[in-house]
Chain A
């Protein structure tokens, strides 16, 4: 009874038209997200940026790429131009000279009697061989006068004979502005110098030159053998004693044994090394993906045979592969391809086996089965369904191929198995530095070493950061 009464009371209190439908035709179950969804790559970038060391490494890496592109373009030196008169100039960077580094000086231990002033009258008649023994006080940076040299010299005895030595810091660049002997001067250049009255004339009125006319005289006697369009004089070479030129402009990283600018050569070499790294990575990934896909997707006997093949190939040490490729193809293909090929041959197996294991992981999944039921071809299943899912793992597994290719290029260049010597690469520069003497001219090896070290460190940090960022299993795991 009471219930009924209640019901009646309710009906009394709330009239039906007091209610209103909040929704009638729209189906809304949940509140819409107001934040934006973060996709896989968005998330990867977000996590990569959070990793400070990787970002710094990436910035350095980009900087190196920019330098390797633009430094040779804006350099005023031709990396291949040979000038023996500026052979082995030490590095000189104008801004840093005040700090006492890279100031274009070289240390010498010389006999005190060979130090003189530039105005020494004895110099006027000297031949090149004798003249080049002398050092001038004007360009010595750690002593100011000949008297100081006298005080600083010390005595050493060899075979009972006493010599007086002194350690000096000699400014090679300033020295280039003083009168000096020019070597390997051509006839045309000689005439030019004569025109400009640069050649020093001694008191007897003779020009200070040493002419090598051997080849020219030969053609003079046998004019029929003269190459067309040449005169015998074109084959003369001179050593010429010239008055001071302008000071040689600074070479930031110095010059090599042939007087070529190391700064320009090094960035050109970096360019080659980066390109070979990229080239090897692309080929390796292509070959590895195709091989690994076929081996992993089909499995069974195909897999067995392909696996045995990679096992044998993987068992061959890389040095053996390099040597065989070199012995077999040397001279037949450009050295860039030769080195690239031997690097690919040693690195694709790792990629292939990784792709293979990814294939095994995904090929039994339901979505692959579903697609196959619909009649998808094997090709489509591999490249459209399985590979995109394995992409993250494959990319992170292969990103470090680039630095390792650069590293291997340098190693094989040291072994004489790298590019031919006309190609500029970091490895070839390092080997050239070794050949010029690591201890005697350290800057020739140090600069390429520093660049390759920075490249390796930044690439490894960057690669590690990228791997962590792209690794799906670490998503949202940190903090």
Chain B
């Protein structure tokens, strides 16, 4: 297991490296020294063209792409991601990002925390009441909540925000309290709850008909004990990776939700940094790296979780 894990981690870093290299080169190809200098000059009206060009040369903007690339790599190892020229002039992009990451992460993690127990709960109810009215009711809502995009939910929540006593937009960072998080977290949770409900129901109905569950009932466990201790544990195998995988979809759903609700998160930074008129290249790279790392790390955890929840897969990997 340890060897397998290490192998996967190394592979992840290789993939990350390739993706970042690709992104860096492609982004550099879309820009030029003159353009970057012009963007930098716009940040401060007092700057002369000469000053701006000198600043650009000092940061190696006029180097050939391979040289720039290796300098950039060297910088990253030291935690230096270049300079932001639009958002906060002269600041290290990673430092800027770290101020915005908490907003994005808290929305995403809370939505995961809320959706997991609710998804299990509805899934278990539906499985235990299979083909009864309650099951049909749950299935009906599941199909709606799986299909309807999260940005539709956020729209409807925002329209009704005042009647629920919630702010209609995410307020500025210093005024924001828990109330500002309610709407984005709710909008992001509906989809994952529905997905988890559907899969829990499917897995549980399969397990509930198995013989060892009958044995569990015959030895005297009541239905609740048998379901939770035996059936649920076995249906976990495909569900744990699903839950973690949900995190990716929540993460990227939150890009849109952040934009609509005006949350000051990484998504907004990324979109500002790639604007066509004044792009902030180094900041864009850092934000792209953030999303890539999250994506790859989640995939890695999904793959490893198979081994953790199912000992048979772990055994297979040892061979």
Binding site for B on A (CB under 8 A): 311-312, 315-320, 323-324, 326-328, 330, 403, 407, 410-411, 414-416, 430, 434, 438-439, 442, 445-446, 449, 452-453, 456-457, 459-461
Residues of A within 8 A of B30 (CB): 327-328
Residues of B within 8 A of A446 (CB): 155-156, 159
Q: A312-B19, A324-B23, A327-B27 are in contact. Are A407 and B270 (CB under 8 A)?
A: no
Interface string of B240-274 (1 = CB under 8 A from A): 00000000100010011001100000010011001
Interface string of B80-116 (1 = CB under 8 A from A): 0000000000000000000000000000000000000
With an 8 A cutoff between CB atoms, is B120 at the interface? Answer: no
Bound Cα distance from A117 to B189, whole angstroms:
51
Of A330, A407, A460, the contact of B143 (CB 8 Å cutoff) = A460
Interface string of B9-37 (1 = CB under 8 A from A): 00000011011001100110110000000
A-B contact pairs, 14 of them (CB 8 A): A315-B295, A316-B22, A317-B295, A318-B252, A323-B284, A324-B23, A327-B274, A328-B30, A411-B256, A414-B151, A414-B256, A438-B260, A442-B159, A453-B147
Residues of B within 8 A of A411 (CB): 149, 151, 255-256
In contact, B255 and A410 (Cβ under 8 angstroms):
no
Interface string of B148-161 (1 = CB under 8 A from A): 11011001101101
Residues of B within 8 A of A312 (CB): 15, 18-19
With an 8 A cutoff between CB atoms, is B296 at the interface? Answer: yes
In contact, B270 and A434 (Cβ under 8 angstroms):
no
In contact, B149 and A415 (Cβ under 8 angstroms):
no
In contact, A319 and B252 (Cβ under 8 angstroms):
yes
Q: What 6 pairs across the A-B complex have the smallest Cβ distances?
A: A456-B147, A457-B147, A317-B295, A449-B152, A453-B148, A460-B147
In contact, B147 and A416 (Cβ under 8 angstroms):
no
Q: A318-B252, A320-B19 are in contact. Are A453 and B152 (CB under 8 A)?
A: yes
With an 8 A cutoff between CB atoms, is B168 at the interface? Answer: yes
Bound Cα distance from A459 to B291, whole angstroms:
30
Residues of B within 8 A of A414 (CB): 151, 256, 259-260
Of A311, A328, A456, A461, the contact of B148 (CB 8 Å cutoff) = A456
Residues of B within 8 A of A442 (CB): 155, 159
CB proximity to A under 8 Å, residues B134-174: 143-144, 146-149, 151-152, 155-156, 158-159, 161-162, 168
Bound Cα distance from A319 to B168, whole angstroms:
26
The distance from the CB of A310 to the nearest CB of chain B, in whole angstroms, is 12
Bound Cα distance from A312 to B18, whole angstroms:
8
With an 8 A cutoff between CB atoms, is B211 at the interface? Answer: no
In contact, A449 and B146 (Cβ under 8 angstroms):
no
Bound Cα distance from A450 to B16, whole angstroms:
39
Identify whether the interface residues of B are mostly helix, strand, loop, or mixed.
helix
Residues of A within 8 A of B274 (CB): 323, 326-327
In contact, B291 and A317 (Cβ under 8 angstroms):
yes
Determine which residue in A411, A434, A438, A442 has the highest number of CB atoms from chain B within 10 A of its CB, and name it. A438
In contact, B15 and A320 (Cβ under 8 angstroms):
no
Residues of A within 8 A of B292 (CB): 315-317, 320
With an 8 A cutoff between CB atoms, is B309 at the interface? Answer: no
The distance from the CB of A144 to the nearest CB of chain B, in whole angstroms, is 28
Bound Cα distance from A219 to B23, whole angstroms:
52
Q: A323-B288, A327-B26 are in contact. Are A457 and B148 (CB under 8 A)?
A: yes
Bound Cα distance from A246 to B22, whole angstroms:
62
With an 8 A cutoff between CB atoms, is B305 at the interface? Answer: no
In contact, B168 and A439 (Cβ under 8 angstroms):
yes
In contact, B15 and A311 (Cβ under 8 angstroms):
yes
With an 8 A cutoff between CB atoms, is B299 at the interface? Answer: yes
Bound Cα distance from A26 to B155, whole angstroms:
76
The distance from the CB of B206 to the nearest CB of chain A, in whole angstroms, is 15
Which residue in chain B gives the minimum CB-CB distance to A323?
Answer: B274
Residues of A within 8 A of B267 (CB): 415
Known interface pairs A403-B147, A438-B159; 5 further A-B residue pairs with C-beta atoms within 8 A, sorted by A's residue number: A316-B19, A414-B260, A415-B267, A453-B147, A461-B143
With an 8 A cutoff between CB atoms, is B50 at the interface? Answer: no
Residues of A within 8 A of B155 (CB): 438, 442, 445-446, 449
Residues of B within 8 A of A323 (CB): 270, 274, 284, 288
Which residue in chain A gives the minimum CB-CB distance to B157?
Answer: A438
The distance from the CB of B135 to the nearest CB of chain A, in whole angstroms, is 14
Of A311, A319, A320, A456, the contact of B149 (CB 8 Å cutoff) = A456
Determine which residue in A312, A320, A324, A410 has the highest number of CB atoms from chain B within 10 A of its CB, and name it. A320
Bound Cα distance from A445 to B154, whole angstroms:
11
Residues of B within 8 A of A415 (CB): 255-256, 259, 267, 271
The distance from the CB of B15 to the nearest CB of chain A, in whole angstroms, is 5
Which residue in chain B gives the minimum CB-CB distance to A315?
Answer: B15
Bound Cα distance from A411 to B271, whole angstroms:
13
Bound Cα distance from A411 to B258, whole angstroms:
12
Bound Cα distance from A316 to B158, whole angstroms:
32
The distance from the CB of A295 to the nearest CB of chain B, in whole angstroms, is 19
The distance from the CB of B255 to the nearest CB of chain A, in whole angstroms, is 6
Q: A330-B276, A442-B159 are in contact. Are A319 and B291 (CB under 8 A)?
A: yes
In contact, B143 and A449 (Cβ under 8 angstroms):
no
Residues of B within 8 A of A320 (CB): 19, 23, 288, 291-292
Which residue in chain B gives the minimum CB-CB distance to A438?
Answer: B158
Residues of A within 8 A of B26 (CB): 324, 327-328
Bound Cα distance from A318 to B152, whole angstroms:
21
Which residue in chain A gives the minimum CB-CB distance to B14?
Answer: A312
Residues of B within 8 A of A456 (CB): 147-149
Bound Cα distance from A327 to B280, whole angstroms:
12
Residues of A within 8 A of B152 (CB): 449, 452-453
Bound Cα distance from A221 to B288, whole angstroms:
56
The distance from the CB of A46 to the nearest CB of chain B, in whole angstroms, is 23
Which residue in chain A gives the minimum CB-CB distance to B273?
Answer: A323
Which residue in chain A gives the minimum CB-CB distance to B15?
Answer: A315
In contact, A453 and B149 (Cβ under 8 angstroms):
yes
The distance from the CB of B17 to the nearest CB of chain A, in whole angstroms, is 10
The distance from the CB of B5 to the nearest CB of chain A, in whole angstroms, is 18
Which residue in chain A gives the minimum CB-CB distance to B144?
Answer: A457
In contact, B151 and A410 (Cβ under 8 angstroms):
yes
Residues of B within 8 A of A328 (CB): 26, 29-30
Residues of B within 8 A of A407 (CB): 149
Which residue in chain A gives the minimum CB-CB distance to B12?
Answer: A315
In contact, A439 and B295 (Cβ under 8 angstroms):
no
Determine which residue in B16, B149, B156, B271 has the highest number of CB atoms from chain A within 10 A of its CB, and name it. B149
Which residue in chain A gives the minimum CB-CB distance to B169?
Answer: A439
Residues of A within 8 A of B27 (CB): 324, 327
Residues of A within 8 A of B168 (CB): 439
Bound Cα distance from A126 to B259, whole angstroms:
42
Q: A330-B276, A416-B271 are in contact. Are A439 and B161 (CB under 8 A)?
A: yes
Bound Cα distance from A416 to B256, whole angstroms:
10
Which residue in chain A gives the minimum CB-CB distance to B261?
Answer: A438
Bound Cα distance from A411 to B276, whole angstroms:
19
Bound Cα distance from A319 to B15, whole angstroms:
17
In contact, B143 and A457 (Cβ under 8 angstroms):
yes
Residues of B within 8 A of A315 (CB): 15-16, 19, 292, 295-296, 299
In contact, B18 and A319 (Cβ under 8 angstroms):
no
Bound Cα distance from A311 to B255, whole angstroms:
24
Residues of A within 8 A of B161 (CB): 439
Which residue in chain A gives the minimum CB-CB distance to B162?
Answer: A439
